[in-house]
Amino acid sequence: MRFRSFMPGDAEFCFHLRNQAFIDLFREELQPEGVAAAVNAYQPADYTRMAGQGSLFIVEQKGRRAGFFYLKRIETAVAELCLIYIDPRLHGQGLGSGCIEFIDRWVSSHWKAVSTLIVDTVIPGYNAQFYQKVGFVPLQHTVCNLSGMPVKALRLSKQVLPSS
Ligand SMILES: CC(C)(COP(=O)(O)OP(=O)(O)OC[C@H]1O[C@@H](n2cnc3c(N)ncnc32)[C@H](O)[C@@H]1OP(=O)(O)O)[C@@H](O)C(=O)NCCC(=O)NCCS
């Protein structure tokens, strides 16, 4: 598994991977209007914009793109894992947990004052168990804004593990 920074040519990959998750994996948990709002929330150009505002990484496996994740520092001591998507054909092979281990290392060496990582999920039935397996704990109920539509979400947090 290899991690590299997003490049403009990755925008379509990120766009399609996230949309595929909402359409194929999350539609049982989200109402159809929630899926539509989520799909409309980001266009390919938004990934290029986000890369300039936070830290957008591409995950590669065997030389091919396998996923991406997006980190943003929202307070001096708090960063948010805004997006994390792994190719569904590669789920369950340790890539997601590998991303979290990389995030711990990267945040503790680049954003030294950050001690807490948060994530808001609108599909906790689908992925809260993953987050808890990699060290997050449920913190509070919250609301995410998807294309102007408020959607119930669960916020989880974890302490950033300093590099050893
Ligand atoms: C959630 C996601 C990132 C996990 O990535 P992954 O590569 O499949 O995760 P891993 O293989 O590293 O799994 C780590 C552990 O979590 C568990 N796990 C992973 N996904 C799970 C799920 N959906 N439900 C329950 N457990 C899950 C694994 O079984 C594994 O447990 P183990 O350590 O006991 O073996 C991936 O499934 C994904 O991209 N899902 C769609 C997008 C998504 O939900 N993104 C988050 C939006 S908020």
* Number of residues assigned to the chain: 164
In a domain, 135, yes or no: yes
pLDDT, tens digit, for every residue of 115-155? 999 999 999 999 999 999 999 999 999 999 998 999 999 99
Give the whole-angstrom CA distance, residue 126 versus residue 155: 14
Residue 91 lies in a domain: yes
Nearest ligand 1 atom, CA 25: 41
Please count the structural domains in the chain. 1
Position 164 in a domain: no
Which residue range forms the structural domain that includes residue 122?
2-159
**149/100 Cα distance (integer angstroms):** 29
Q: What is the reported pTM? A: 0.96
CATH number at residue 133: 3.40.630.30
Pocket test for ligand 1, best of 72, 126, 127 (most atoms within 8 A of CB): 127
**Do residues 96 and 84 touch, judged by C-beta distance below 8 A?**
yes
User: What's the Cα-to-Cα distance from 112 to each of 55, 76, 129, 160, 164, rounded to whole Å?
Assistant: 15, 9, 28, 10, 14
127 lines ligand 1 (CB under 6 A): yes
**pLDDT tens for residues 37-47?**
999 999 999 99
Q: How many CA atoms lie within 13 A of 70 on its CB side?
A: 22
- For residue 91, report the distance from its CA to the centre of ligand 1, in Å: 7
d(CA 116, CA 76): 10
